[in-house]
Amino acid sequence: MPGELDLGALLSNMKPDLHGDIFVFCTIPHDEPLPTATCLLTFREHEGTTLVMRREDAERAGLRYDFASRLITLTVHSALDAVGFLAAVTSALAEAGISVNAVSAFHHDHLFVPVDRVDEAMAVLQELSAE
């Protein structure tokens, strides 16, 4: 089934789903092996490999981390070439002064927001979806 392209449909059907765990961002050098802990996301950058993982897994692995966040999945199946969806979502969060790290995967878009702002972020997203 192809992903949704229509911005109005994406916004009205995004149904944000809040995950229970706290996630953190870590970085390791390219030549260092990945930790045995399960990473939700890995991304190779010029400066090193970024790992996004549960905070307790990072602590157990002895990794330094930054940006304790909660994960919100926008459950609408967005097309990878949809235009304006993340711009609308991140703009609404920016207007509320909430930082966000967005990740697009094959089926959904995912937002990492600060732990202490997650309730506000969910309210902003629900309001945006209702417009």
Is the pLDDT confidence value at 6 over 90? no
Question: Any idea what DSSP says for residue 116?
Answer: G
- Alpha-carbon gap, residue 4 to 30, rounded angstroms: 36
Q: What number is the average pLDDT over the span 62-75?
A: 96
Q: Which of 36, 23, 12 is nearest to 125 (CA)?
A: 12
CB of 89 closer than 8 Å to CB of 74: yes
Greater pLDDT, 79 or 101: 101
Question: Any idea what DSSP says for residue 64?
Answer: -
Is the pLDDT confidence value at 33 over 90? no
Question: Any idea what DSSP says for residue 107?
Answer: S
- Specify the pLDDT at position 35: 83
Q: What number is the average pLDDT over the span 1-23?
A: 90
Q: The pTM is what?
A: 0.92
- Alpha-carbon gap, residue 40 to 83, rounded angstroms: 25
Is the pLDDT confidence value at 1 over 80? no
- Specify the pLDDT at position 2: 79
